[in-house]
Every structure is written in structure tokens, then in C-alpha cells.
Chains A and B, each alone.
Chain A
Amino acid sequence: MEKENRSRQVLSRIATNDQHGENSPYFHGWYAYERNRFHPTQNPQGVVQMGLAENQLCFDLVEKWIKENPNASICTREGANKFKEIAIFQDYHGLKEFTHAVAKFMEKVRGNRVTFDPDRIVMSGGATGANETIIFCLADPGDAFLVPSPYYPAFGRDLRWRTGVQIAPVDCHSSNGFRLTRAAVEVAYKKAQESNINVKGLILTNPSNPLGTTLDMETLKSLVAFVTEENIHLICDEIYSATVFSSQRFISVAEVIQELEHCNRDLIHIIYSLSKDLGFPGFRVGIVYSYNDIVVSSARKMSSFGLVSSQTQHFLTSLLSDEEFVDNFLSESKKRLAKRHHDFTTGLEQVGISCLKGSNSGLFFWMDLGPLLKEQTFEAELKLWRVIVDDVRLNVSPGSSFHGLEPGWFRVCFANVDDQTAEVALERIRTFVLDNGKKGDEGR
């Protein structure tokens, strides 16, 4: 025991504190799934994973492309002649062709309404690494960033754990559809200042996780104006930009600053990744794009801690440069996401469960199970969640892990399962709701 104590003493604070946030229900649900994974034939009673925002709807398109383009890979006969050159390449600027291809892809996703400079593209270890890196560049320990809530649970880890930076939440309410307003940001900003907290910027996730909504031009403009006036940074995490499946188009902050004459571009930074839009989280491709030269320089040096494998860069250069493939992929992906979203939301509406109105993007929807709660508290929400994970056997994510103010909301991911599994999942929720609804009536 004494030896253990001694051993524990010799670890760092970071190694022994809880700031990684992995002791939250968000992660516990994953463990439940890991222990008992659903399979349509082998384990039909298992837990369906609906807590992981992964996009598997268009793998068939990618697999077809890979088979037809063997030279994109350095481990095929056709591509092997590039092996040596690629294997030795470790320049943290990245393969020139790669950064160009990524820039073009990002432009395409934004309807070619903006241009991106490949020299401003900095690699990182996935979006996780990108978010951490940009915070390291912009803020010092003790500083804070404004984050609209509800927000992605792992921001607690990504923005705070090693950086020592705090999160100052900006409250959003169901009363106006959780829409972010400049007024709400100002309230949170003022509150932080009154507590003598030094706010270095605002981080937006647009499209939003977990809401699945996008910001309109007016709101974006007002937020850019706000940060310019207050001389603080604006980070736009746009990793879900190509998942906008409705007719309402995605508006990037890149577009906004093009239109605004008086904004300070040194304040604007974009986070991107290929994990959500393309469905390649395993590739670990994170991007920091900054309009601030010093930030680009500093982030680039830090990118040594999370460079993208040259093999992966090489492969993606081919894939993303194939315009026909990319155009087809983007439109197919939208269609399939739209259909999945529609099937789930209408299926749930039929049993009286509503999902956030106006959701038009993302790999999930924000579901309101408030009517099923015995009391409108987070304790009741967690109880309900346990039932959903253990009895209904669906890993959905409880709203409390997203740090929102109102209990009863759940994030449900729908793009990581096949059609058959999706149907099973929907049926299970509907059955559960109908059963519980009846119980609720009997109680009165």
C-alpha cells in the first residue's frame, strides 16, 4: 500500500486528475456497448450504438473508389513505386499536393463560395488534436473560452485538460430552439469578466453538436462583429460542414468574413477534420486553419505532436483530387443522411416524441424525452438513461453530459448503423415510448 502511495505521488497532476472527463455517462454508455454489441444475426439482443457520431453511410462508395484506384495506395503493385519517397517524408508542412487537395475539398463543401490558402492548413491529430492545439496557441492557463451549451462532452478534455484553460458556457434554451444569440454570448462574457476571468475567445461548433443545426448569416455576422469589438478570438469548429442535408445551405465563417469589411481576420480560426464529413475517423486527419500568421506558425510547430501519416496524406490526395468522386460522394451522403434523419424523426413523431425543430445537419438528432421524465431533473434524466441503455439496449447520450440547462434531452446518432439496425433501433424506442406512456397514464 505504501509502495502504491509512493508510486501515485510520483505521477503528475495531469495524470491523476479527472479533467479527461472519461468518468461521465457519455463514456459509460460506450462501455456498455463494448460489453454487449448488437449484431443483427449473432447478437440481436445486444446494445445498439447510438452514442457515437460516426458516418458509415457511404462506405460502399469509398470501397468502390479504392478498388478502382490502386495507385492511390503505396502498398499495391501500382502504387508501390512511391513507397520510399512517401515513407521518408516527415516535413510538418505536409505534402504540398495534400494541403492543396484538402483546401480544394473544403472549398467544394462550401459551394466554392470561398477560397482557402493551402499554406494556412496545419495538420493535427484529428479534430481532437486540432482543438487542443488552437487553444494552446490562443490561451494561457487560467484563461477561458466561451462555449455555447449544450456542447460536445469531450470539449472538457480537448479544451481544458493539458491546456489549463477554462470553459465559460453560453446558455441556450429550448424556448427559442436552442438558437445561439449575440445577447446570450454577451451575458456570458460579462458574467465571466465580473468573476475576473480572462476570456480569450468564443468557440462555435457549426453545424452544432449535439443540436444538428446551423447558424444563419445574420447570427454569424453579429458574432464576428462581437469578437472584433471585444478583440477576442473566434474558433469555428466546422467538422460537420458537409453533413448539412437540407436545402438550407451551410454558411461558413469563411464566407462571413469575406462579406464583412471591418472584421479583424487575425481573430478568426477554423477547425476541420475528415472524420465526420468523409467517415474517416481512423485516419486521424485534423486541420487547423487560421487567418492569423503567427497562429499558423506556432500551430505548425506544434503539429509535430500530431502529424498525419504520409501514407494517409498520399492516399487522400488522390481521393480528394478526384472531383467526380467527391461531387458524387457529397451529394449521395446528403441524400442518405436526409433519409435516415427523416425516418427516425417521423417515426418518433408518430409516438409523440419530438426532435429539435430545424435540425438540418450532423450525424445525430436532439430528442426530447422530457414528457417521459417523472420529474424535470437531471437525476430523473440519468435514471431514464440507465433504463434506455440497460433495458431498451440503446446507447444514446443523456443531455446532462452535454452541459445543457434543461433535463430530458438526448442525442441519438443515426449514421453509424446499417438500415436493418436502424429499423431495429427505431422499433425499440417506439416500443419503449408507447409502454412508458401507458404506465405514465395509469399512474395519474
Chain B
Amino acid sequence: MTQRRRSNQNSSPETELQTPETTGATAMRLIVPLQGIVQGRGGLILGSLIPCALFYFLQLYLKRNRSPNPPPRSTSSANLGELPRTSSRSNLSSRGSIGPVQISVRASSIAKPSDSPYYIGLEKAAEDPYDRLDNPNGIIQLGLSENRLCFDLIEKWVSENLTDSIMGREGGELSISGIATYQPFDGMTELKVAMADYMSQVMGRTVLFDPSQLILTAGATPAIEILSFCLADQGNGFLIPTPYYPGFDRDIKYRTGIELIPVHCRSTDNFMLSMTALDQAFNQARKRGIKIRGILLSNPSNPVGNLLSRDMLYGLLDFAREKNIHVICDEIFAGSNYGSEEFLSMAEIVESEEFDRTRVHIIYGLSKDLSLPGFRVGVIYSFNEKVLAAAKKLTRFSSVSAPTQRLLVSMLSNTRFIEEYIETNKKRIREIYHLFVAGLEELGIRCAESSAGLFCWANMSSLIPSYSEKGELELWEQLLNIAKINVTPGSACHCIEPGWFRCCFTTLSQEDISVVMERIRKVAETCKSSC
């Protein structure tokens, strides 16, 4: 919705002739003499000419505006210059004329190159990736929350627990029919069982997950989208605390038509959500005519890395009940909780109290805690039968590949391996986290308090040329192009305070950290001397 409003303000060829100013002037030129006629001062000629002219202009105006508003088009579509600017309906009469073909409004806006630093940085880093030996001057990727710390454990598991092949065994014989044929689209039962148990283990065995309330999808990305399609209609909104994961803009906005209404969090609160701010955002959205259908949050939080307290979780449920909306908790970093604070899943809260669970939904996946983003495994966990029924049908478009399901049944059922993995993973993240944050502190850069996730949330506001989004982006560009490190600027995460940057450190080895710090130091010195 916001996009559309913004772009209608840009002038396009058809509307140029009818801007408010010219219409107003024309009107005055007609009305003044008309007044004269009505008051008996005008002549016969004007008396007949002017009404005819008015009639003619009215017809002209109606003809021009019969077609619905032109589709939204932002000014940066210059590089897509080919696309026609009229709406598809008005093309009916001129169909067949030479003109470029229409694709959907959605596609036109998605296709254009992203202007988000989040995506631009990822692309650039991928084009010139740092390698200690082969490309020591390459870009160090700190913008992708990937975890490479524990692959040795996985490789060990693989070598010790070989299956004979990608195939399973059907009645003793190796058979491909177990993996090649159609499987339940929301996941094989054995995998749901293994996943439910794994999730429980990852979250410290404080809560039990019921496999029948679990749906598997091809990654957490479709999980969020599918859940959104089930809970809200086009034009509705979800409240979302900022700063938030830039990918949510894609997952929610690309195709569902649902709006994300930011609820700004502040550094003074360590970016913890305030119930007052939540309430205010809800009311403001309502005044704008947007129906809020739910709250979407990540816990552990991305990009800050803090955890929601028990009180806060209760508070969210109360709020949701009062407003009759849903709560969607993305708990994908639950197992990357390396601090001393315990992670509390929303599932645990609703289990222990008499809450209306039907409004609670959890997103999970194996990309972060188990470092398997390539396998595309996501989870929707819901307490709402109807949501599960609808989401199940939607998994038809995003199912987990069967061979991968088979592999994971083996891996996730091996509880001893999982236990060792979780513990070692936390330990290694903690070690790197401490080294990285200490390194930044030496440069005068402090991070928000965090105890989970694969990243830290660093305050570089002292280095930015101006305390604004513009200043922040200038620093980001310097870091990317001069220091050659890709970090994610807070503005890409919709953070209201400029100068914050997300730095992912779990792809780094201890040696790499000193390289990173050295590069940042050079840029920091340049900034300090020019500030």
C-alpha cells in the first residue's frame, strides 16, 4: 500500500495535463465570465460558448480518467524503460499495437535490481569472496548469517553413519520408490516425529512438540509466506518490532500483499519491545484503516540477538488476546543461544498456562542451528487446527525434497549426535562472539547486549559522517568498498536509530577476526579524522 501511494505522487505522461494547478487555472478562466453571465453582465456568445466548452472539457476529463489508476511504478524503473505505463485494462482497445508485453505489477517491482544494501552487499561479497590464501584482498562476508563452525562434527557423523545410498530400504531391499515417488506434501511422518523431538532437544527439553501440529516446508522462507497467506488478507498488516530481518520484506511483501507495520525499538531499551510502542503502533495503523491481523517477531531476535523474557511473552499473548490477533514467533535461532540466559519458546509459555493457543504459531528451520541452509527445511508449528489444515495444502508449492527428508530422519533421530552438536556449537559461537565483540570494543565500537544468534549488533554511530540514514549508508559503502567487509546497515533492517550494523561472525576463523578488525580500524581512522 505504501509503495503504491508513494509512486502515484510521481508524474507520468497521462497525468501531466491534469495536474491540480492547470485544472484550477482553467476553472477560474471559465467561472469568472460565467459569473458575469449569471449576473446578467455577460453576452450571448459567451453565454452559449462557455457551457458548451464546459461540457466538452467534462467529457474529456471523464474519457481520460475512465481507466483505473496506473499501476505503481517507482522512478528507478528507468532501466526497465520498456514497460508501458497504462493499466492493463485500458490496453484492451489498443491491443495488437506495437508495445512491449505486460507482465504483472508484482513482477515488475520484484524484478528490478534491489536497492537494499542487504542484497547489494550479499551480491558484491559473493562476486569477490575473501579467501585467506587464494583471495586475501577479497570481501569478507559478515552480512550472511551462516554458521560454519561445526561442520567437522557433521562430517564425522556422516562418515560414521553411512546409509548405503540416497535410497532407503523397503522390505530389506534398497528401493528408490521410498524417495522418488510422491510423499505427503507436508512431510513424511518419520521426519515430523524426528523434527519434533529435535526441536524439543534444541530448546533444552523444556517443551514437547507434537508432530501432528508440525508442517514441513522447503525452508523457513516459504514457511513464513505460507503462514502469512493463512492468517491475513491482502491489505491487512502485521506489527513487527524493528530492527528486523530484511528478508521479511521479501517473504511477506512479495506476493501476499500484507503490510509490515514497524514498532520501533530503541537502544535505550537495548532494542527490547515496549508494550506501549506496540499499542501505539496498533492504534495508528487502525486510524490509517489498516486491519492488523498479527504480530511477527523473531526470538532470539535478528539482528540484535536478544531474548524475550517470560513477562514479555505473557505480555504479547495478553495483547494478542485483547486485540484478537495472531502471534507469529520465528524461533529459527533457538539453538544458537550461547549466553547464560535461557531461551524460552512461545510453545513453552502456552503449554504452561491457559492461553488461547489457537493464535500462536512458531516458525523454525535447519538453516541456522544445524547449518544446513542448502537442504531447504523449514517448519510451521501451530496450535490452530484450521491453520494447519490450510497450511498443509499450501505446502504443495514448497515441499522438502524426499531424499533430504530421508537423510534428516537419520541425522535428527541420532539424539546423542544432536546433543553433542548443540553443546559444541554454542561453545564455539560464544568463543567467536567474545573475540569479535572485544575486537570491536578496542576500536571504540560497542555492541548491544545479546546472547543468541550468529551476529552482533554494533553501534558505529561515532564513525558516521552525519547522524542520519545517509551518513550510515556512506559508512556502509566505505566498509564495503574500502575495508572490503560486507556488514548489514541498520536502515536495511528498518532501525530507527542510524549507525547500527549487523555483523555475522560465524563464518570466521579466529585468524580472520584480526584481519577484519584491522580493516575496520583503517576506515575508522579515516572517519575520525574527517569527522
Contact = CB atoms under 8 A, between A and B. Distances in A.
B262 interface: no
Given A88-B374, A139-B104, A283-B180, A304 B400 contact: no
Contacts of B386: 7-8, 11, 15-16
Contacts, number: 270
B110 A10 contact: no
A137 B378 CA distance: 24
B102 A11 contact: no
A396 B105 CA distance: 40
A143 B102 CA distance: 12
Given A143-B88, A282-B181, A298-B106, 11 more contacts: A10-B325, A15-B386, A20-B393, A59-B177, A75-B158, A128-B396, A136-B106, A138-B107, A157-B396, A198-B92, A312-B403
Most chain B CB within 10 A, of A12, A56, A89, A139, is at: A12
Given A302-B254, A310-B375, A282 B402 contact: yes
A264 B126 CA distance: 34
Interface in A48-74: 52, 54, 56, 59, 62-63, 66-67, 70, 72-74
Contact of A309 (B97, B177, B403): B403
A162 interface: yes
Nearest to A17: B390
B230 A304 contact: no
B324 A66 contact: no
A349 interface: no
A153 B155 CA distance: 44
Interface stretch (A104-112, A225-233, A350-358): A225-233
Interface in B135-171: 146, 148, 151, 154-155, 158-159, 162-167
Contact of A75 (B236, B251, B255, B407): B407
Interface in A1-43: 3, 6-16, 20, 22
Interface in A281-302: 281-285, 292, 294-295, 297-299, 301-302
Contacts of A230: 95-96
B172 interface: no
Interface in A272-286: 279-285
Contacts of B102: 200, 231
A283 B340 CA distance: 41
B387 A297 contact: no
A125 B126 contact: no
Interface residues of A, number: 88
A86 B376 CA distance: 12
B110 A301 contact: yes
B44 interface: no
A90 interface: yes
A31 B104 CA distance: 37
A308 interface: yes
Given A88-B148, A229-B96, A266-B100, A126 B107 contact: no
A54 B221 CA distance: 29
A309 B96 contact: no
Given A198-B89, A306-B397, A84 B155 contact: yes
Interface in B364-415: 367, 371-376, 384, 386-387, 390-391, 393-394, 396-404, 407
A309 B401 contact: yes
A140 interface: yes
A98 to B, nearest CB: 12
A305 B252 CA distance: 11
A218 interface: no
Nearest to A131: B397
Contacts of A12: 229-233, 236, 293
A80 B373 contact: no
B188 to A, nearest CB: 10
Given A11-B230, A267-B101, A282-B402, A301 B254 contact: yes
A315 interface: yes
B402 A66 contact: no
Contacts of A143: 88, 104
Contacts of A54: 181-182
Interface string A210-250: 00000000000000000001111100000000000000000
Contacts of A310: 374-376
Contacts of A6: 324
24 contacts: A10-B326, A10-B359, A11-B386, A14-B229, A20-B393, A63-B176, A74-B158, A137-B104, A200-B88, A200-B104, A231-B99, A231-B101, A232-B101, A281-B180, A282-B181, A284-B218, A302-B254, A304-B221, A305-B219, A306-B397, A306-B398, A309-B375, A309-B400, A311-B404
Given A8-B386, A86-B374, A88-B374, A125 B218 contact: yes
A3 B321 CA distance: 12
Contact of B404 (A70, A231, A309): A309
Contacts of A285: 401
A297 to B, nearest CB: 4
A311 B162 contact: no
A76 B181 contact: no
B206 to A, nearest CB: 27
A87 interface: yes
Contacts of A307: 218-219, 376
A22 B403 contact: no
Interface in A75-97: 75-77, 80, 83-84, 86-91
Given A125-B397, A298-B103, A298-B110, A283 B390 contact: no
A66 B167 contact: yes
B393 to A, nearest CB: 5
Contacts of B232: 12
A92 to B, nearest CB: 10
B227 to A, nearest CB: 10
Contacts of B398: 125, 129, 305-306
A83 B225 CA distance: 29
A171 interface: no
